[in-house]
Structure 1
């Protein structure tokens, strides 16, 4: 039997959500033709989308994403059908688009309170993925109040989700100073990528991936994804190389995932899903070649799945994950084995209730000092799904209470596989299926930022001491005149605050934000926007001019210039930035591009915008674009066509001079053929006179 590690891990969560056989049937509520049809025009095409969506929907986990696409097209014809909205929400939620599902569930419930017994449950779950925790709790409480009191499973599930929302609300009050970045396309793929193992030097990364190794790779699992295999990448010249499959002795036609590499780099522990229900094997490096994996020698193999292992720095202790038996605390638990006096290994001992919950634990890892155990759990005070936790060993050798690693490392999505980078105390990697990724589970890096630099204002020179207060003696009465103390100077700090969002949907975007000194081009500080609400806040150390550089995975980077004058009175500057999502065919107008009158000569006022475009090209090295010039409809059409072509060429030449490969760009002049506004008004003609670029390839 082949058991994918991640399939077991995530399917458990999915199944726990499907609590009523009569509700969560393969068909779902029927979208009736008579209820769906409104007008004749467009009905046939829309109904075809419904039928296609239903066909995909009936396959459940295999094709929810395809169903979601078809249903959205059908909604363009009739957005007021309760069954269609409900099934669109289900398809979105279970295809990894959980943060997009809430509006469909809410609309379905608004149209028909009885469309499905679980509509409020799913609405509450989906709202949590949008960071709307109070509203989510409201819907989950309403679900409990409208559900059969005898259905304890439903009530328990709703209570669990309510607890997660309350934990999330509390944890998001205190945002950690951590910069989180997607590891990029050289590591991540459109499939699930996870289970990180670093070489002791940190220069090589091994990880598991569900991507196909060959074009003929079979999809063997119920989720119609290929087997998981071991991939690797080397860190070169400041970045990870394109990942490649490990050697055939490690990867078979079945499923393998890396778990742990010893300090001497000659023993690689792997998860093999083709043995038993999933066992841990060891491959040895002999004469520079990895040998066929063999059974581990520490005595942890059982008839239950073992999916993770880590050794203490001394090598005298190991922690591993096993599907718990009757002696466990529920789900998959952490177990500990130790070397005995005769150098054999002890029998596995459950790590205890402080770390093991009634739900699943996964991806266990010792800290560099061996006194802290890192792991993921679907229990404790998780924000939702799996969160990353840690437990500190007590002086008596027992493990202390599980502590949530905090936001924004943890979110309502799944976070697993905490893995520190060797030799870099402030850098670790982890895995998440949060929105904005490349596909499925992605690998992320997280850098702990230093405390913000607080630049105290230089104190004014101390004034000379005041003269003694006059004392007047009259008989025996002493009168002392009051000395008034000057107030303390106010805090002169100015904070840059705002929200980063998707320009199309308005949804929150997690982005890296760099503050750069405009005069010196020096990096002043960095921060990150929250992937829950998109908000950020960063202190500006001085009142001067800065460049704000915003980058996010899957979006075009943006750059803003802000000036804070010495006479600026407020204590904050608001800067909201909508980012443009990267996708083939997307057109972007280049603002503030100016030419000499009637010529194709760029003025210096254009350079800032063009430098931003050069930065975008550098951030997306595989992106190819078409640069197009456009005019209004005044004057000769022939002259307009020629001028727009020459101006597009001038922009391309500028980018070439900035180091952008010419083969990545084409240029075209369209004259007045593609207006974006009415040429009858001065404002419309101004909008039509423009230069834009279109993404051709990514």
Structure 2
């Protein structure tokens, strides 16, 4: 206590004695060279500061050099504080602003506003509110009403910050590491749905062209890519090079869930969106998106829907509700973009839109809603034909500074964004957010008294219930497509079909070089997956995902077969009523594909066969499987296929393809397939 009181006495004694020290010969006559250098730094800083608009980041190092020589000058501390307020490291402004005020309370008419901003950006909500209330407009301010509105808004932001910090979101926030980050600015991350690949924007010294932006002094932006090297690590990032990167600014905007289509921002026409396709290992030259998306204004952010057919994007074009709004557009056709409306868009700016692979959860940043300062990240869900009220992701994900360009994995477990933090590798870095879910509720008693006995009670330990972490309602299907005989990759087309509607809702292509594919399947649909390539028999899979089905990741490698006698193909999207031979309507698409195969190959002859698991009597299973195979043949004959080209057989449980000892094995054995018997 004695040491604490002594420290307080010394602090307050120094504060009372602190006074402003000018950069003059009277003060530093014994160090003429040091004074001369300091004054030169101030002059250089002022040249940048006095530009229109001021170049705060360029002025800052000069003012810091001068302040190192004379740390007790109110004006230089004020200038440093103001420069930090316009930098990436805004919270650092507070100490300099407080010192400026301590040295000279009348150092600047704006000092209370600046102090409010410094306190606000450091999360000192109550003190910030007090300073904001003391702030007055600078001399000569014409729009005093606008100043008052700005103060009132910032007070509301502080009040929101108090509430949000009181109930923090349970997360870990970790630097993504040296594989991704560098001593230069790294930001704008976009990821594949399974987090296997990350692309981002960086201003590194190995940028394409190697030139610097004359306005900022930093290197031009380029797009970089890193792949997952381990559970928690990323491999070394590489510059995508030409044709994606140019001598100018090239920035990431959005990435399709499978990583085969990339949206980039280029500075032509005020800032437009472009799209590039990955063919094998090479990204093609970005093509400008049409005038239905790009305008004479600024389009800065965009995100694909999971089926790739629609686009959400941000624009400040005329007719919006605020400075920047979020729009949606169908990429095919001639329809115009629709504004998402006042539930999402505010009179302030919206930015950094991202749509989760579940197809209904949108993340975006906004200066409106209940932000705690600058842009905060929000979440909204589209249900029953409308967007839900945006939910602030909370503290510490959001801060009093700008928090923008957030993306999240399909699992919902990890999010990524960029931030200026003290543990960064240099400038702005990319961080990984791990969502921990709600906090476990404590048990009042961890033992259950099963038998009342004073001598030796019988007890049972009670385990605390596990904490449920919210799981995204989406399934990720991924793997490789190869030629069954050669094992070489095949650039096949993957069609995603809504079996209940018999409609193709999305089409993707496997990578030409690796054969890899990834498909995002939001819950609530009975999906047919059809893999096709010219010269091969089609391959089908079925995923019946009920509404609310939790996140899962399925790896399915597919070997396509060429049309040869003896080849067998399972028809996974043919369905029968339980214990009957009547076809369900969800089978229509698969039957039509089989009909087309026969129509396109007139000499083709097939055996249609039915198979069951070993549950039930063998005689009954064989009869049921034969009746089901006959039903398929009857359908095809009814559609004009010559009966002589088709035979049917029921094999019951005699030809299993998996053990009948598990549920999954029995499911695989219950199947309809065809075998090529002539061509």
The normalised TM-score by structure 1 is: 0.57
Q: 1:201, CA displacement in angstroms?
A: 3.7
Q: 1:143, CA displacement in angstroms?
A: 0.5
1:301 is the counterpart of 2:294: yes
Mark the CA change 1:110 to 1:61 in structure 2 (over 3 Å): closer, same or farther: closer
Q: Secondary structure at the match of 2:387?
A: coil
Distance 1:150 1:429 in 2: 39
Alpha-carbon displacement from aligned partner over 1:602-640 (angstroms, at most 9, x marks no partner): xxxxxxxxxxxxxxxxxxxxxxxxxxxxxxxxxxxxxxx
Q: Secondary structure at the match of 2:315?
A: strand
Equivalent residue, structure 1, for 2:67: 72
- Selected match of 2:447 from 459, 470, 473: 459
Equivalent residue, structure 2, for 1:133: 125
1:445 is the counterpart of 2:439: no
Q: Secondary structure at the match of 2:220?
A: coil
- Selected match of 1:82 from 71, 74, 80: 74
Q: How does 1:26-175 map to 2 (within 5 A)?
A: 33-34=23-24, 37-42=26-31, 44-59=33-48, 60-76=55-71, 79=72, 81-144=73-136, 151-175=144-168
- Selected match of 2:328 from 331, 336, 359: 336
Equivalent residue, structure 2, for 1:246: 240
Distance 1:312 1:215 in 2: 31
Mark the CA change 1:263 to 1:405 in structure 2 (over 3 Å): closer, same or farther: closer
Q: Secondary structure at the match of 1:281?
A: strand
Alpha-carbon displacement from aligned partner over 1:210-260 (angstroms, at most 9, x marks no partner): 223259722224222121110011111341111110031110101111222
Mark the CA change 1:56 to 1:186 in structure 2 (over 3 Å): closer, same or farther: farther
Asked if the contact 1:352/1:399 (under 8 Å) is kept, the reply is no
Equivalent residue, structure 1, for 2:534: none
1:382 is the counterpart of 2:371: yes
Q: 1:193, CA displacement in angstroms?
A: 1.6
Equivalent residue, structure 2, for 1:401: 389
Q: Secondary structure at the match of 1:236?
A: coil
Q: 1:92, CA displacement in angstroms?
A: 3.2
Equivalent residue, structure 2, for 1:421: 409
Asked if the contact 1:393/1:400 (under 8 Å) is kept, the reply is yes
Q: How does 1:654-665 map to 2 (within 5 A)?
A: none
- Selected match of 1:209 from 202, 222, 244: 202
RMSD over aligned CA atoms reads 2.9
Mark the CA change 1:176 to 1:286 in structure 2 (over 3 Å): closer, same or farther: closer
1:391 is the counterpart of 2:380: yes
Distance 1:111 1:83 in 2: 9
Distance 2:143 2:434 in 1: 48
The gaps in structure 1 that reach 5 residues or longer are 1-29, 467-492, 494-698
- Selected match of 1:362 from 331, 351, 356: 351
Mark the CA change 1:295 to 1:69 in structure 2 (over 3 Å): closer, same or farther: same
Q: How does 1:251-270 map to 2 (within 5 A)?
A: 251-270=245-264
Q: 1:205, CA displacement in angstroms?
A: 0.8
Distance 2:438 2:389 in 1: 27
Distance 2:21 2:351 in 1: 40
Equivalent residue, structure 2, for 1:681: none
Distance 1:329 1:183 in 2: 36
Distance 1:48 1:389 in 2: 48
Q: Secondary structure at the match of 1:232?
A: strand
Distance 1:302 1:145 in 2: 37
- Larger radius of gyration between Structure 1 and Structure 2: 2
Alpha-carbon displacement from aligned partner over 1:95-139 (angstroms, at most 9, x marks no partner): 433222223223323443432222211111111222211111111
Mark the CA change 1:167 to 1:64 in structure 2 (over 3 Å): closer, same or farther: farther
Provide the aligned length of Structure 1 versus Structure 2: 428
Equivalent residue, structure 2, for 1:282: 275
- Selected match of 1:219 from 194, 207, 212: 212
Distance 1:75 1:199 in 2: 51
Q: 1:33, CA displacement in angstroms?
A: 4.0
Q: Secondary structure at the match of 2:357?
A: coil
Asked if the contact 2:316/2:324 (under 8 Å) is kept, the reply is yes
Mark the CA change 1:243 to 1:98 in structure 2 (over 3 Å): closer, same or farther: same
